[in-house]
Homo-oligomer: A and B are copies of this chain.
Amino acid sequence: MHALKGHGTENDFVIVPDLDGALELSPAAVRAICDRHAGIGADGVLRVVRSENDPESKEFAGQAEFFMDYRNADGSLAEMCGNGVRVFLRYLQRSSLVDEEAAVATRGGIVQARLRADGDISVRMGVPEVLADRPVVTAAHDEPRLALSALTIPNPHVVVAVDDVATLDALDLTVAPQVEPALPHGQNIEFVTPVDHRHLRMRVFERGVGETRSCGTGICAAAVAVAGLNGVGPDGEPWRVDVPGGTCQVTWFPDGTVELTGPAVIVAELDLEESLLAAR
């Protein structure tokens, strides 16, 4: 089976082209592919299918030619992934399936992705919804902190400000921070601190995973929360956000939508052995 490996700020994926929707990609096969020692290793699988050829995306075929069927490394279905959409567009362009932009159908709705002059890729997401209540977050061996914001974009995030880079770097994120009260479906937790004017540094603890190198929607959530704190709001100007896996830009537009911009890299083409895909 032909596939590729790529990453966006070190959030990494195996891309499985299946334009005709002919492939049976079982949860067991996804787990086998994503296993970092017995398989290829990735945070998830991006199956690339023409929207008209998949029952889940058929109704969106008129608006978005391709459907990003995103699976988590544990085999479960996922809604959306900001870093994943960039890698998805990179694949479409590399394969001459699209020119410089594309609408991409995802389980979290249709998003617009486009190539920028510098080679980075921008993904226009929806409008974040800020929740009324802000929980208290306590990292291991750390003091309780009232969150800056709790918001969905569309997955749930809690953003926490810390004083400086030294405090951020010293946080113990090897265990899940406590969130009181937790959001109904759990949350990703972003710890963020200012570095410079409109320039943030962030670490993220993803629900069900642990600390990761990057989280696209979490980067957007952090910029939106800090913009709100600074009273600048959705002004259409970029924020820079550094994460352990690299750097992204976030622009919050006056219409409320948020755009994530960052790198997307293909590192290899793969031919997977049949034995890897046999369910186990």
Q: Which residues of B contact A3 (CB under 8 A)?
A: 268
Interface residue? A111 (CB, 8 A): no
> Is the beta-carbon distance between A272 and B276 smaller than 8 angstroms?
no
Could you say which of A35-43, A44-52, A153-161, A180-188 contacts chain B?
A35-43
Interface residue? A245 (CB, 8 A): yes
Could you say which of A6-14, A200-208, A232-240 contacts chain B?
A6-14
Interface residue? A266 (CB, 8 A): yes
Q: Which residues of B contact A276 (CB under 8 A)?
A: 267-268
Count the copies.
Answer: 2
Given contacts A11-B37, A36-B41, A269-B271, 9 further A-B contacts (CB under 8 A): A7-B38, A12-B36, A38-B245, A40-B267, A265-B275, A268-B271, A268-B272, A268-B276, A270-B270
Q: Which residues of B contact A245 (CB under 8 A)?
A: 37-38
Q: Which residues of B contact A37 (CB under 8 A)?
A: 7, 10-12, 43, 213, 245
Residue in contact with A41 in the complex, picked from B40, B266, B273, B275, CB distance below 8 Å: B40
In the complex formed, the residue of B with least CB distance to A41 is B41
Residue in contact with A268 in the complex, picked from B40, B265, B266, CB distance below 8 Å: B40
Interface residue? A114 (CB, 8 A): no
8 Å CB interface, A165-214 against B: 213
Residue in contact with A5 in the complex, picked from B7, B40, B265, B267, CB distance below 8 Å: B40
Q: Which residues of B contact A265 (CB under 8 A)?
A: 38, 275
In the complex formed, the residue of B with least CB distance to A245 is B37
In the complex formed, the residue of B with least CB distance to A244 is B37
Q: Which residues of B contact A269 (CB under 8 A)?
A: 270-271
Q: Which residues of B contact A39 (CB under 8 A)?
A: 267
Q: Which residues of B contact A275 (CB under 8 A)?
A: 265, 267
CA distance A39 to B39 in the complex (A): 14
